[in-house]
């Protein structure tokens, strides 16, 4: 006990307080109340630290709270299972997500569009996350120069505990199936969609072809979590393909019956003799 007292005294001056009774064995004692001068000094130090911190938040947990909240959002997103949407947080910052969107039907069918999600440092407060396509996609609500999606037309004002990142990604997917031309970021795309649909389809075909042509290009990103693609390699991928079919053959009778009764609308098939993905809509039954 004597050595512990010496360490406390050596660490700095101890504020003077009114003497009180010495606690007995096993009893807890509240810390001493600092004098007014010490309280003022601590207050000034905390204010200076908060002002100088570029990533400070209103929450006392600071950046740890932000990263925990984003991780919780990512886990919630995984439960949503948005068709054709694949995202993963960057290995360097939880505020940056890599994403790829596969469009399986509609005017943009066969498009494979890369995008990133930029989450503000003030999250979960402040502005909504930004979605940026690279390269830019020809679409009325996507900026043709920066590739940024107009997220605010879906979420006018971001509100914590109300809006979620998965809702932003749901809207990102929806724009390729429901075209909105009001207050467009790409005026040319909006005008063609309303007045010359055939030319619009031609432009869309070009942007889809560009996305597929650049699919295997090396990425100028130093991040192990960046999503990369490689052409089908028999020596590399055949084993995985065989395992997938093997696992399917081992499905029990109950699981097989559930699979037969499951809704198949929106499922994806592979064209025979190729690795090209295509979708099929069920025909209406009487």
CA distance 210 to 177: 19
DSSP label at 13? P
pLDDT, tens digit, 9 for 90 and up, residues 80-138: 888 999 999 999 888 999 999 999 999 999 999 999 999 988 888 889 999 999 999 99
Tell me how far CA of residue 219 lies from CA of 79, 88, 137, in angstroms.
29, 16, 18
Q: Please give the average per-residue pLDDT across 206-213, as a whole number.
A: 95
Q: Please give the average per-residue pLDDT across 61-89, as a whole number.
A: 83
Q: What is the set of domains in the chain, with CATH numbers?
A: 63-213 (3.10.110.10)
The alpha carbons of the chain give a radius of gyration, in whole angstroms, of: 28
Question: Do the Cβ atoms of 265 and 277 come closer than 8 Å?
Answer: no
CA distance 109 to 205: 9
With the C-alpha atoms ordered 12, 16, 21, 26, is the resulting torsion angle positive or negative? Answer: negative
CA distance 275 to 273: 7
pTM of the model: 0.64
pLDDT, tens digit, 9 for 90 and up, residues 160-174: 888 999 999 999 999
Cα maximum dimension of the chain: 91
CA distance 38 to 27: 27
User: Confidence band (pLDDT; 50, 70, 90) for 69?
Assistant: confident
Host H or E run for residue 167? helix 165-174
């Amino acid at each position: 006990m004597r050595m512990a007292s010496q360490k406390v005294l050596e660490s700095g001056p101890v504020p003077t307080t009114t003497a009180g009774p010495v606690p007995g064995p096993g009893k807890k004692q509240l810390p001493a109340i600092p004098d007014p001068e010490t309280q003022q000094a601590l207050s000034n130090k905390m204010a200076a630290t908060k002002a100088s911190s570029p990533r400070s938040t209103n929450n006392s947990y600071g950046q740890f709270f932000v990263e925990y909240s984003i991780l919780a959002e990512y886990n919630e997103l995984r439960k949503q299972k948005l068709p054709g949407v694949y995202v993963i947080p960057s290995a360097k910052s939880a505020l940056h997500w890599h994403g790829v969107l596969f469009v399986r039907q509609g005017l943009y069918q066969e498009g494979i569009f890369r995008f990133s999600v930029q989450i503000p440092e003030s999250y979960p407060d402040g502005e909504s996350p930004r979605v940026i396509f690279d390269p830019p996609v020809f679409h009325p609500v996507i900026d043709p120069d920066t590739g940024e999606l107009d997220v605010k037309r879906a979420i006018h004002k971001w509100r914590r505990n109300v809006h979620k990142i998965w809702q932003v990604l749901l809207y990102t997917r929806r724009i390729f199936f429901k075209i909105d031309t009001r207050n467009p970021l790409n005026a040319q795309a909006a005008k063609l969609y309303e007045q010359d649909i055939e030319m619009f389809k031609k432009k869309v075909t070009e942007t889809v072809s560009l996305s597929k042509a650049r699919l295997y290009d090396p990425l100028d990103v130093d991040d192990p979590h960046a999503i990369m693609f490689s052409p089908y390699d028999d020596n590399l991928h055949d084993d995985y393909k065989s395992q997938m079919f093997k696992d399917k053959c081992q499905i029990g009778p109950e699981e097989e019956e559930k699979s037969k009764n499951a809704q198949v609308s929106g499922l994806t098939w592979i064209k025979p003799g190729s690795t090209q993905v295509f979708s099929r809509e069920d025909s209406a039954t009487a």
